[in-house]
Homo-oligomer: A and B are copies of this chain.
Amino acid sequence: MSAITYELIKTCKQTGARLGKVHTPHGSFDTPIFMPVGTLATVKTMSPEELKEMDAGIILSNTYHLWLRPGEDIVKEAGGLHKFMNWDRPILTDSGGFQVFSLSERRKIEEAGVHFRSHLNGEKLFLSPEKAMHIQNALGSDIMMALDECPPYPAEHAYMKKSVERTSRWAERCLAAHERKGDQGLFGIIQGGEYEDLRKQSAQDLVSLDFPGYAVGGLSVGEPKDVMNRVLEFTTPLMPTNKPRYLMGVGSPDSLIDGAIRGIDMFDCVLPTRIARNGTCMTSNGRLVVRNAKFERDYRPIDEQCDCYTCRNYSRAYIRHLIKCNETFGFRLTTYHNLYFLLNLMKQVRTAISEDRLGDFKQAFFEQYGFNEPNAKNF
Partner pick for A317 among B44, B70, B297, CB 8 A cutoff:
B70
A77 and B324 in contact, given A42-B329, A318-B84 (Cβ under 8 angstroms): no
A321 and B44 in contact, given A297-B77, A299-B77, A315-B84 (Cβ under 8 angstroms): no
A45–B78 contact, CB under 8 A?
A: no
Partner pick for A40 among B40, B79, B322, CB 8 A cutoff:
B322
Nearest residue, chain B, Cβ from A328: B45
A40 and B321 in contact, given A74-B297, A297-B77 (Cβ under 8 angstroms): yes
Asked if A85 is at the interface of the complex by the 8 Å CB criterion, the answer is: yes
Within 8 A of B (CB), among A287-313: 296-297, 299, 313
Asked if A64 is at the interface of the complex by the 8 Å CB criterion, the answer is: no
Main secondary structure of the interface of A (DSSP, over half): loop
Asked if A278 is at the interface of the complex by the 8 Å CB criterion, the answer is: no
A269 to chain B, nearest CB (A): 19
Nearest residue, chain B, Cβ from A299: B78
Chain B residue numbers with a CB within 8 Å of A331 are: 328
Asked if A86 is at the interface of the complex by the 8 Å CB criterion, the answer is: yes
Partner pick for A329 among B47, B84, B313, B314, CB 8 A cutoff:
B47
Nearest residue, chain B, Cβ from A314: B86
Nearest residue, chain B, Cβ from A42: B329
B69–A315 contact, CB under 8 A?
A: no
Asked if A376 is at the interface of the complex by the 8 Å CB criterion, the answer is: no
Chain B residue numbers with a CB within 8 Å of A321 are: 40-41, 69-70, 74
B325–A69 contact, CB under 8 A?
A: yes
Give Cα A320 to B78, complex, Å: 13
Asked if A332 is at the interface of the complex by the 8 Å CB criterion, the answer is: yes
A317 and B78 in contact, given A69-B325, A324-B69, A332-B47 (Cβ under 8 angstroms): yes
Interface size for A (C-beta < 8 A) is 35
| Interface flags, A235-268, vs B, CB<8A=1, else 0 | 0000000000000000000000000000000000
Asked if A46 is at the interface of the complex by the 8 Å CB criterion, the answer is: yes
Asked if A327 is at the interface of the complex by the 8 Å CB criterion, the answer is: yes
Give Cα A313 to B85, complex, Å: 9
Nearest residue, chain B, Cβ from A86: B313
Name the residue among A70, A315, A331 with the largest chain B CB count within 10 angstroms.
A70
A and B contact pairs by CB, cutoff 8 A, 24 listed: A40-B321, A40-B322, A41-B322, A42-B322, A42-B327, A42-B330, A44-B327, A44-B328, A44-B329, A46-B329, A47-B329, A47-B332, A69-B325, A70-B317, A70-B321, A74-B296, A74-B321, A77-B299, A77-B317, A78-B299, A78-B318, A84-B317, A84-B318, A86-B314
